[in-house]
Amino acid sequence: MLRKTKILITINITLLVFLLGLNLGPNNVNAQSNGDYLTASSDFVMHEFSRAIETIESNNSININIQSPTWDITGIELNFTDIRLGREVKVIEDDIDKSETDKFVDKKTEALGVQVNITEPTIVYGVKIYGFSIGIVPSGYIHFQINGYDNLNDIPNSTIYGTPALLNMTNEELWYTQTFSSPISLSVGQYFFVLNGSEIEAFENSKYYWAYNKESPTYPNLYTSEYTVGLGDWTAGVQGEPFLYQIIQQVDRPYDPESINMTANIGGMSYNITNGIDSGTGNLTLSNLNYSPNNEIFQISISNELSVELSFNLSYNLHLEDIFNSDSSVVIQEGIANSWAINPEITRYSDNYSVEFSFPKSWYNLSIKRSGENVTSDVFIDYISNYVIIPNETITEGASWLITASSTEVSIGLTVDRTEFYAGQELKFFIADPVFEGNYTFFLADTFEDQINSSIKVKVIPPESNSFTYTIPSNALDGNYKAFVYWFNGTDAGVVTQIFKIILPFAFDWTLVIGIVVIAGLGSAVTASSIILAKKNKRKKLATKQKTINKFTDILNLNYVIVVEKKSSLNVYDQAFTGKKFNSTLVSGFLEAIRTFGFDISGSGERSQTVKLEYQNSKILMSDYKHFRLIFIMKDLPSTQFYGVIDDLSLEMEEKFGTYLKEFKGNLQPFEGIENLLRKHLGTAFLYPLKLTGVGNMKIAPTEKALINKAIVKMKQTRQEYFYVTQLIGEKSFDSKEIEALYSLIIKRVFNPHS
């Protein structure tokens, strides 16, 4: 009995170890990398240039509307003409001698006058006099006026210039301004300013005092005169006792800017205005200026040494520059050139406007589209200095813009200490020198190209370190996993990949063995549970393998994909995966006609939006979504797994292209990115042409070697440098071992995408 028990225990332990070995042994399933990509977004800096050009007349200040406070002024051209002094107060006699108050206009002395010497053509707006009134001030008949000059007697003559002004004066001793209703133009010569009270009635006692200075006059040679009732005329002119007055005037002749030290103040800096060719003209030219008004109105202060406001005509030409950010993105994919897209919003500010931007030396194949129309030939592209100018005549109001380019992937490297890990361990690697500054994005993909790390890890280097870590889940499947590290700095990008192998740990539990010995009688139960565990894991492995086979069986079944905008029933995207040509518009129109009459549900469970049509040797699936319809033409009906894949595809298509579909007006350019979504969700890159590279010292399995030989034979037959998957494994039946071998060769980079 004891011997039987020992034998049973030994058998149970051996069986348990064997079953554990089946469950925990390595599983060499590799991930396909061709369909993996990353879209990185950023702001792209654009420069815009404009000119503010205008002519303004009869101006005494400069206020230029530049429309936006963000503009920088880089150059200024100012051309002045008809430069004249503005209105000024010219002081003739202002020293007040208050001891003298014996000269005034009343009923006996009807008028007082003082000589005025005009040395150049002058416009007189008014005159200030110093004095006061006594008594009730009558209104309507006391005037201040300009008379002619009697050069024989040095007294006023009877000529009156302009319209006399009603006297402005009160009983308070002050300077009073006498304003003429219309400016009076005087040529060079002698005149008299006259305070005229000739209409004062004989019974009035009002008096109007006009101060004068006989102690120390500024102009002692000026004549004064009085008109008395007793004499009935003006008294002979007397010098040395001039009345006080100041002229509000404007000199009516052009001035050269250098003669009056005319300057322009811009941003706190004073710039001299130089003389022009003709009298009364001048100019100022400033280049390499970098001034920001920070206001929509650009003000320039004009000054001169006379401290008199100037009037002038002005022609100006401002060179304006600004920068603005545009939405941009790049699609980064291993083995394929980076694909850049910039969507600037260009607002035309003037009839002399252009946009310029610089691009890296690594960019090539630049294309500029305006509202879907290719206008690359209408712009200037300099591939030597690496800049683009979109000229004024190419820019139209309200247009949408798309700028695309390609660039070579920047090579980045990884420093990896080990490539094999147990589930539950920490995976770690470093960015190898040289470490480029920028954003690094890391994610890990399993055998189905599904991201397995819970969140994409993004680092900005510097300041962050150049190491990446990730704890492998304890429930991870064994096999090969592919790490993707994308680098992006706004103008350049690259990607590097690394294969890591995950091994389920073998744990021989001696306590379990002891337990088995102790409860040997339960050996049969242990055996039964071990068998159940083994069967469960075997089913899991078979399900995983079947999922892989299903996915790529569906891919190999796929002939055509068409995306239709529902409202217009127009195709926005189509792609063929067979050598046969087809008219996608004709096909979609044919299907739309049939759909109108209705046809059978495809058997896709509860997905009532998906219908099928069998036509000759093709199976057609048509799925309706919010803004679009997906059409798949296949050799055979897909697996149920395929319907879940196209649901995920439709969600991302709606997210990325829903706005364009909703506003669709015939522009197909925004939908070019659908190809990347097909590669991501369906794995269509599996159907793209492949090229063969050397195997080196790699370990190649027999099935892999057979596929390599088939590829060599096929390329010799077709005389091409590439081949297709369907040429290696057929189109009707798919061997799971061949598919696994194909994955392995792609992962090992023996089979590479053909560019």
Q: Range with the lowest mean pLDDT among 113-127, 345-359, 527-541, 552-566?
A: 527-541
pTM of this structure:
0.52
Q: Which residue has the higher pLDDT, 283 or 624?
A: 283
Q: Each residue of 95-154: pLDDT tens digit?
A: 877 666 678 998 889 999 999 999 999 999 999 999 999 876 655 678 999 999 999 999
Same domain, 529 and 573: no
| pLDDT tens, residue by residue, 347-373 | 888 888 999 999 999 999 999 999 999
Same-domain check for residues 455 and 527: no
pLDDT at 619: 84
Does 492 reside within a domain? Answer: yes
Last residue of a domain, one of 617, 642, 673: 673
pLDDT classification of 524: cutoffs 50, 70, 90: very low
The answer to whether residue 631 scores a pLDDT higher than 70 is yes
| High-pLDDT (> 90) share of the chain, % | 35
Q: Is 350 contained in some domain?
A: yes
| Number of structural domains in the chain | 6
| Lowest mean pLDDT across 147-151, 417-421, 474-478 | 474-478
In a domain, 679, yes or no: no
Indicate whether 556 and 647 sit together in one domain: yes
Residue 13 has pLDDT above 60, yes or no: no
DSSP, collapsed to helix, strand or coil, labels residue 645 as: helix
User: What's phi and psi for 383, nearest 5 deg?
Assistant: -85, -5
| 441 and 400 in a common domain | no
Mean pLDDT across 538-558: 66
What's the pLDDT score for residue 487? 92
Average pLDDT score over the chain: 81
648 and 613 in a common domain: yes
* DSSP type of residue 667: -
396: domain CATH number is 2.60.40.740
What's the pLDDT score for residue 522? 43
Which tokens hold the place of 202?
């004989």
| pLDDT over 50 (residue 164) | yes
User: Same structural domain for residues 456 and 360?
Assistant: no
Residues 200, 138 contacting (CB under 8 angstroms): yes
Domain coverage including residue 217 = 95-109+129-186+194-238
Range 214-220 average pLDDT = 91
In the predicted structure, residue 4 carries a pLDDT above the cut 50:
no
Do 395 and 382 sit in the same domain of this protein? yes
Residues 6+ apart with CB under 8 A from 436: 410, 412, 461, 487, 489, 492
pLDDT (average), residues 457-473:
86
640 and 579 within one domain: yes
- What is the model's pLDDT at position 367? 93
Residues 631 and 659 placed together within one structural domain of the fold = yes
> What's residue 649's pLDDT?
87
CATH code, domain carrying 431: 2.60.40.1930
* Model confidence band, residue 597 (pLDDT cutoffs 50, 70, 90): low
What is the Cα–Cα distance from 541 to 186, expressed in whole angstroms? 112
Q: 674-722, pLDDT tens digit by residue?
A: 888 887 788 776 677 788 877 776 778 888 888 888 888 888 888 888 8
Q: What is the pLDDT of residues 302-335, one digit of tens each?
A: 998 887 888 899 999 999 999 999 999 999 988 8
Nearest 5°: the CA angle 607, 611, 614 is 145
> Do 542 and 435 share a structural domain?
no
Same domain, 103 and 163: yes
What single-letter DSSP state applies at residue 371? T
Report pLDDT digits (tens) over 220-259: 999 999 999 888 899 999 999 999 999 999 888 899 999 9
Positive or negative torsion for Cα 477, 481, 487, 488: negative
Q: Other CB atoms closer than 10 Å to residue 319's CB: what's the count?
A: 19
User: Does the residue 294 lie in any domain?
Assistant: no
Question: What digits encode the pLDDT tens for the residues 35-59?
Answer: 468 888 888 999 999 988 899 887 7
Question: Is the residue at 293 inside a domain?
Answer: no
**Based on the domain organization, do 402 and 417 belong to the same domain?**
no
How is 106-120 classified by DSSP, letter by letter?
A: SSSEEEEEEEEEE-S
